[in-house]
Structure 1
Amino acid sequence: MLSQKSSESVNAKKRFLKNEHILTVLLCAVSIPLSMSMWIVNLIYSKFIIRNEGFDEPVVISPARWLSSCFIPLVITFVGYRKKSLSISGALLGFGVGFILTLSNYCFLAVLFTFFISSSKATKVRPHLKHKFDPEYKEGGQRNWIQVLCNGGMATQLALLYLLDVGACERPIDFIRDYRASWLCMGVLGVFSSCNGDTWASELGTVISSSEPYLITSLKRVPKGTNGGISLIGTFFSGLGGFIIGLSYYLAVLYFADRSVLPYAPSQWPLLVYGTLGGLIGSFIDSLMGATLQYSGLDKDGKIVSHSSISVKHISGKNILDNHSVNLITTVIMGLLMPTISKNLWPMY
């Protein structure tokens, strides 16, 4: 009996490995011709069109970078879809977001990967508790295209501006010698640190804290899951989530940045500080808008709902924005605010 079970497990493992090998081949079969076709288009455009317009040096991105920009996001989104962290629409849009971020700057890929992995793990912590106060909670926290757009849209726009203005390269933060590149990089950092900080605060703070949170506008106790609710543990996790993003950017810039430029750039460790700050400020802005512009009510089952009815008791906010709108506005604010803060303080270090 035991030998039969062991043989079945061995066969199942072999089938799994075989499927994994097939998936690897399929991913390569898609990403390699896709990246090569993009490189050829880039080569033709640079050699013939840009040169005819008067540019002396054609800009050609290497085939290896095109390949990594196709293959890595494809793997991440495919795994996310298989793990039920992304829906089909979320995976398709996520690939586009990952492609632009990876092509423009590998540091952007590092923070995107850190945000996706850490937020997905945080969403799956103690799901049985989240079901008690959130009727819209999905097992695994599956993200659709709207959530991907609201969390990564601003960062994608900044990365595209970086690609068009600076190019496909990695540069250290240096507002004195490289202002525009540093401004755009800090914008991307601000977006993802705020997203990760808010996700960690809402997904971990609500299930780890044993007490009810305070409403940020009145400091009164409110039920868990209320928009605009804050707690000491939630604030800690928002800062920690932002710190993780800053740490990933810091390590990436030390590894990928041009070795001829990095020694002359200022110290990069403030990325850790600004990542933490981005998580805290982003979570604060999100909570403030949630408490005032999002409707929160308590239904007869004791769950938090975002619509009003006769059987729902109003807790806070007006029905002006939904959660997606709040996330989008927060990322736009942080994408503009973080470079403004850092450009004035970075020369002090």
Structure 2
Amino acid sequence: MRSWTLYLDSLFFSLSMSLRVVLILVLMAIAALIALKARFLTRSGTLAAVLLGFVVMYTGAVSGLVMFLFFFISASSVSRIVHPNKERNGRDMAQVVANGLPAALSLVLYRLSSYPEAFLIAFASCLAEAEADTLSGEIGSLSHKDPVSIVTFTRVPKGISGGITVLGLSAGVLSSLLIALLFMGTFTSSISSVLIITSTGFLGSVFDSLLGATLQAAYRRKDGSLTEAEIENGEKNERVRGIRWIDNDAVNFLSGLFAFSLSSVFAIIL
């Protein structure tokens, strides 16, 4: 796999800047139509994905785009498989930016900084964190037992941020490893990079759960049940935990930055 991605990358960078831009726009337009048709993304989410995809391919070439698309397609597909009857409108702009911006910024730094390898690893780590977070939540919801709070280890309702299960954590490790192996097949065969990406991607998803259990806003309905929505059916719920402006998208973005920071530091010093 790595041989053909390297060939396509070299071919891509041999093109003039204008041709590269045209090629990226054409590919992004095709991907956008497919995403809309499959309802993986909303219109705003599609716009955000196109812009981020443009940055990713312009800086990371074909290899970067392969990894970026793999994350979005696999995460969306697993969600559909696990919950086939759940009504979905697709990821919106905030969700796409929260999950994709840290990875895109990593590739920009990969091209501009004095530590290109470190930020290339950070790119994969950001995707590994997002993949681990998504799949641990989706697959973890299949657990026969209710999750426990990552802070208090008491049982919490399914669907509330901050809850963890053995099944979900296992899915997080494996999905993070999957992204690391894809990185090994597209960019570099370094074993150390695989270890860094797998570990920091998983730790980033754990950090996501920690933020979800502490800083993310949670609300109580009138019937006493918990929700992450401040307003439902015109009724305002009582905030019982967290900071009002920190929602799931903010937590996802901060967790991506955590994985970015941890992986880039490890890559530089190790």
Shorter chain as denominator, the TM-score bin is 0.7 to 0.9
1:327 paired residue among 252, 257, 261: 252
- Checking the alignment, whether the CA contact within 8 Å between 2:24 and 2:54 is kept in structure 1 is yes
2:76 to 120, 127, 136: 120
The 5 A counterparts of 1:41-190 are 61=16, 65-105=20-60, 106-127=62-83, 139-140=87-88, 142-163=90-111, 165=112, 180-190=115-125
What's the offset of the Cα at 1:306? 3.5
2:228 and 2:84 mapped to 1: Cα distance?
18
Structure 2 counterparts to residues 293-312 of structure 1, below 5 A = 293-297=215-219, 299=221, 300=223, 304-307=227-230
Quote the Cα distance in structure 2 between the aligned partners of 1:226 and 1:194. Answer: 19
| C-alpha displacement of 1:286 | 0.5
Equivalence map 1:180-329=2 (5 Å)? 180-206=115-141, 208-253=142-187, 267-297=189-219, 299=221, 300=223, 304-307=227-230, 317-329=242-254
TM-score scaled to structure 2, two decimals?
A: 0.82
1:145 CA drift (Å): 1.1
Report if aligned partners of 1:189, 1:245 keep a CA contact under 8 Å in 2.
yes
Give the C-alpha shift of residue 316 in structure 1.
Answer: 5.3
Percent identical pairs in the alignment equals: 24
Higher RCO (Cα < 8 Å, 6 or more apart) = 2
Bigger drift between 102-111 and 301-310 goes to: 301-310
Q: Secondary structure at the match of 1:321?
A: coil
Aligned counterparts of 1:315 and 1:293: Cα–Cα separation in 2: 11
Q: Which amino acid aligns with 2:116?
A: A
| Matches of 1:314 and 1:233, distance apart in 2 | 29
RMSD: 3.0
AA aligned to 1:290 is G
In structure 2, give the amino acid aligned to 1:289: L
- Mark the CA change 1:314 to 1:128 in structure 2 (over 3 Å): closer, same or farther: farther
Gaps of 5+ in 1: 1-38, 40-58, 132-138, 167-178, 255-266
Query: Shift in Å at residue 201 of structure 1?
Result: 0.8
Q: For 1:128 and 1:301, how far apart are their aligned partners in 2?
A: 28
Contact residue 122 and residue 203 of structure 1 kept, 8 A: yes
Looking at structure 2, the residues matched to 155 and 304 of structure 1 have their Cα atoms a distance apart, in angstroms, of 29
Whose radius of gyration is greater, 1 or 2?
A: 1
Change (3 A) 1:318 1:67: closer
Partners in 2 of 1:312 and 1:66 — Cα distance?
Answer: 47
**Deviation sequence 1:212-250 (CA, Å, 0-9, x none):** 111000011111111100111110111122112112211
Q: TM-score, normalised by structure 1?
A: 0.65
CA gap of 1:287–1:293, structure 2 versus 1, over 3 A, is same
Q: Which deviates more from structure 2 when the two are superposed, residues 236-245 or residues 284-293?
A: 236-245
